[in-house]
Amino acid sequence: MSTPIRASSILPGRREDIELHTADGLTLVGELARPLDREPAGTLVCLHPLPTHGGMMDSHVFRKAAWRLPALADLAVLRFNTRGTSSVRGTSEGTFDAAVGERFDVAAAIEYAEFQELPNIWLVGWSFGTDLALKYGCDPGVAGAVLLSPPLRFSEPADLAVWAESGKPLTALVPEFDDYLRPEEARQRFAAVPQAEVVGVPGAKHLWVGDAETVLDEIVRRVNPAVSVPLPTTWDGPMETGDVSAYADRTVAAFADTPVPGPQQRRAG
């Protein structure tokens, strides 16, 4: 009997709590989810939104990715809290460093995925996480990146130039009604990266509330194109239910605060 896949649905997979160790001596908490009975075809390393505005490894798109994609798309999903960030999983050591010290966090996540011999590693950044991907993610071990709601707040032209030179695939999913960067301006800004693909998503907003399924489909389309999309909305096998109540106040409240200033604003101020 088919059961609808809901926001709280957890499909079968192998999930384990993990720790990442940064080059500057911090321990970060995270989770690795893999397909239950087969090797993954690809790997997502998730870089979450601003922790000062509610972002964390359990931000809803990443939580749904970890709960669904190992079963639906043969993908491993690595989520973690950057320095100073808290979630139900715990709190990572250190303090938020406005995209400076976080370079070590990104490196630790990529290194962990490589050490675990996870295949076809893609970064999936969301908002602040897109800046981390652009600044620090163009690593030899990374196949490409998908950017969700990129504000281009901390990243600079030199970061885009590195991706342009690499030739690695780069996809930006940009909401029609984004708070920071909308599709037309995004196409202009990402023109510096010839291989970059900017996908405008009609009706969507920065937080992707109500549009998580669209995001997951677009990620799977690029990381494991052998899987048909749209992904199924029902499941015929065993299914667990997760508790999402802990984050009811952090899903839509994120980014409602005054945006953290990026490098140009800091210099100007």
Per residue of the chain (269 residues), give pLDDT as tens: 799 999 999 999 999 999 999 999 999 999 999 999 999 999 999 999 999 999 999 999 999 999 999 999 999 999 999 999 999 999 999 999 999 999 999 999 999 999 999 999 999 999 999 999 999 999 999 999 999 999 999 999 999 999 999 999 999 999 999 999 999 999 999 999 999 999 999 999 999 999 999 999 999 999 999 999 999 999 999 999 998 877 655 544 344 433 444 444 333 32
Q: Tell me the residue range of the domain where 133 lies.
A: 3-268
Residue 217 · residue 191 · CB < 8 Å: no
Q: What percent of the chain is helix, strand and coil (3-state, nearest 5)?
A: 30, 25, 45
Residues whose CB falls within 8 Å of the CB of residue 196, separated by 6 or more in sequence, listed in order: 163, 164, 170, 171, 172, 190
CA distance 210 to 1: 26
Which residue type sits at 58?
D
What is the total count of domains within the chain? 1
Residue 45 · residue 121 · CB < 8 Å: yes
Q: What is the DSSP letter of 232?
A: P
Sign of CA dihedral 179, 103, 141, 139: positive
**CATH label of the domain that carries residue 188:** 3.40.50.1820
CA distance 131 to 159: 9
∠ CA 132-245-91, nearest 5°, is: 40
